[in-house]
Amino acid sequence: MIKRFGPWVILFVLLLGSIPLLILNDQIGLAKFVGFVTIVGVTIALWIWRKQTANMSDKKPRVILNLNDRFWFERNIPFYKKLKNTDRRTFEDRIGLFLSEIRITETGREKPEKETCFFVASSAVIAYWGLSYWNYGDLTEVLVYPENYHEDGTVDRSGNKQGQVHHGGLIDTTMILSLRALGRGFGNKTDKMNVGVHEFVHLIDKQDGEIDGLPHDMDDDDEKIWMQLAEIEIAKIKKGKSKINPYGGTNYAEFFAVTVESFKERPELFKKQHPRLYDVLEDYFDED
Q: Is 141 left (phi over 0), alpha (psi -120 to 50) or beta?
A: beta
Same domain for 133 and 194: yes
Same domain for 135 and 27: no
Angle at 253 between CA 249 and CA 255, to 5 degrees: 40
Same domain for 43 and 85: no
Domain count, the chain: 2
Same domain for 106 and 54: no
Query: What's the CA gap between 84 and 80, in Å, rounded?
Result: 9
pLDDT, position 14:
75
Query: What's the CA gap between 128 and 135, in Å, rounded?
Result: 9
How does pLDDT run across 104-136, given as a tens digit for each residue?
999 989 999 999 999 999 999 999 999 987 778
Question: Which residue among 58, 78, 105 closes a domain?
Answer: 58
Contacts of 64 (CB under 8 A, 6+ apart): 96
Same domain for 78 and 44: no
pLDDT, position 274:
96
Same domain for 103 and 37: no
Cα distance between the two ends of the chain: 31
Where in the sequence is the domain holding 230, given as residue range(s)?
A: 67-284
Question: What CATH number is given to the structural domain containing 249?
Answer: 3.40.390.10
Same domain for 141 and 48: no
Query: What's the CA gap between 210 and 214, in Å, rounded?
Result: 9
pLDDT, position 2:
44
How does pLDDT run across 2-45, given as a tens digit for each residue?
445 566 667 767 777 777 777 777 778 777 777 777 777 777 76
Same domain for 91 and 135: yes
pLDDT, position 40:
73
pLDDT, position 188:
81
How does pLDDT run across 217-274, given as a tens digit for each residue?
888 888 899 999 999 999 999 999 999 999 999 999 999 999 999 999 999 999 999 9
Mean pLDDT of the chain: 85
How does pLDDT run across 76-89, given as a tens digit for each residue?
999 999 999 999 99
Same domain for 122 and 159: yes
Same domain for 17 and 139: no
Number of neighbouring beta carbons within 10 Å of residue 233 = 21
- Asked whether 259 and 244 are in contact (CB, 8 A), the reply is yes
Same domain for 105 and 29: no
Same domain for 119 and 47: no
Question: Which residue among 41, 58, 75 closes a domain?
Answer: 58
